[in-house]
Structure 1
């Protein structure tokens, strides 16, 4: 792994701070961040009988376990509710994992950074690659839930591809921003882990957004929750055949503002990371 880190860092700048230039260099040399993220998954599961197939367990539990349990509470069948839960949970997990893992990515890579591998975008992409692998492994479960649902909009499935691109643009700026803040404040990861439960319950994954009374405090909190808009933008076109325009504009605004913020933060604070960790 050390050899890979050295090879990937040969063309890295001496003083980090140019986010997009370093990102381009990371994409030209994917050996470190892409392979190491996959190897990390394999190492974690090498002692188990099912190996990487254990990555299916969380999504399967939510889709067929939690989905079946809460379907009756909403007066719908498990086949209908499983797709609702599945599409919501993969978006939520992708964004929440990006928040939590990125907050400690520089600290966990301290040995590489202190050894002179200063292209910090490699570590951010390493964190993002792990979430991407988790998403890819979960797709068979989601496909099974959509087949059970039956009423899937084909146009919505096609829109899922650019929506995922938009989601991962936000995952990137979240990774950059929270990695920098997490390097300065190591307790950030623990805060996010505890907040994640509240955010999960606040996001309409195991319940329908239409069940919330309009104008209520719950409705206001739901709309103020950014994760709600990401979930709706991905799920609504597939299950309902309509693009929620409010969520689309919110996500687009967050993408532009977030990428701008990440660029500024990286230019200002990336050089301090070796000192903070």
Structure 2
């Protein structure tokens, strides 16, 4: 029986008990025995933002107060996307026993991965708040534009996660492939560099703007820091969202039925 990706997502949100509780249980058991507890979820963001951010800002001749929020916001968004996509490749294999027992609403397992990535994103928000406070270019009004852009990023994660999850159930090498692609894409995403350092009319600028993560991160970060957003970014994200959900819906409807056999 063919399944609808959007229909399954809607059902998962209507009945969130499984993926929310299992995510909470995993995180609770992971941190409860640690003396510092949830601080370890915040620690990577602090080190990356204020350690590496200050270091790279100095190397490139930027002020720490201006470069740290630029790098920090880019980092936590990049981590949200990469954790979601990388772990989605093994989401079905990791829950093979549930799937074989008849729990075939596969979006539950994708949402479990995204919920875990969202937890780490939320835990990094205090560090982001500190970075924005010290930023000389922080625009509080820009938060109103960043919120819908963030929702757009999450919607894109939804269809991307569905595609790599189905492919990962069929081909185990997809996990390694996606990991390598995401690692490579870091270099072409404006996290440790500014977008204006790769002008659109240059080869390196065109290569960077072919990267979806470039536009996803810029759309959220730029309004908060008073940085300009290219019109291309809005067009790119609109096409990516519509085209991505169409492709993901087709793949899910066509191949989701085979996941219990593949896992």
**TM-score, scaled to structure 2:** 0.95
| Partner SS for 1:257 | helix
**Which sections of structure 2, spanning at least 5 residues, go unmatched?**
none
For residues 21 and 182 of structure 1, what CA distance do their matches in structure 2 show? 21
The residue number in structure 2 matching 1:198 is: 184
The residue number in structure 2 matching 1:122 is: 108
Cα deviation digits, residues 17-41 of structure 1 (max 9, x gap): 1222222221121110011112212
The residue number in structure 2 matching 1:71 is: 57
Q: 1:37 aligns with which of 23, 26, 33?
A: 23
Q: Tell me the number of residue pairs that the alignment of Structure 1 and Structure 2 aligns.
A: 263
Cα deviation digits, residues 65-118 of structure 1 (max 9, x gap): 110111112211111100100111122111111210111100000010011111
Kindly state the Cα deviation for residue 214 of structure 1 after the two structures are TM-superposed: 5.6
For residues 100 and 262 of structure 1, what CA distance do their matches in structure 2 show? 17
Contact 1:155 / 1:241 at 8 angstroms: preserved in 2?
no
Kindly state the Cα deviation for residue 192 of structure 1 after the two structures are TM-superposed: 2.0
Contact 1:156 / 1:241 at 8 angstroms: preserved in 2?
no
**Which sections of structure 1, spanning at least 5 residues, go unmatched?**
1-14
**TM-score, scaled to structure 1:** 0.90
The residue number in structure 1 matching 2:225 is: 239
| Partner SS for 2:103 | coil
Contact 1:83 / 1:146 at 8 angstroms: preserved in 2?
yes
Contact 2:2 / 2:254 at 8 angstroms: preserved in 1?
no
Kindly state the Cα deviation for residue 244 of structure 1 after the two structures are TM-superposed: 2.9
For residues 131 and 182 of structure 2, what CA distance do their matches in structure 1 show? 24
Kindly state the Cα deviation for residue 146 of structure 1 after the two structures are TM-superposed: 0.3
The residue number in structure 1 matching 2:47 is: 61
Kindly state the Cα deviation for residue 215 of structure 1 after the two structures are TM-superposed: 4.0
Kindly state the Cα deviation for residue 185 of structure 1 after the two structures are TM-superposed: 0.7
Q: Does 2:134 match 1:148?
A: yes
The residue number in structure 2 matching 1:184 is: 170
For residues 90 and 252 of structure 1, what CA distance do their matches in structure 2 show? 23
The residue number in structure 2 matching 1:112 is: 98
Cα gap change, 1:213 to 1:172, in 2 (>3 Å)? closer
The residue number in structure 1 matching 2:238 is: 252
Q: 1:134 aligns with which of 113, 120, 134?
A: 120
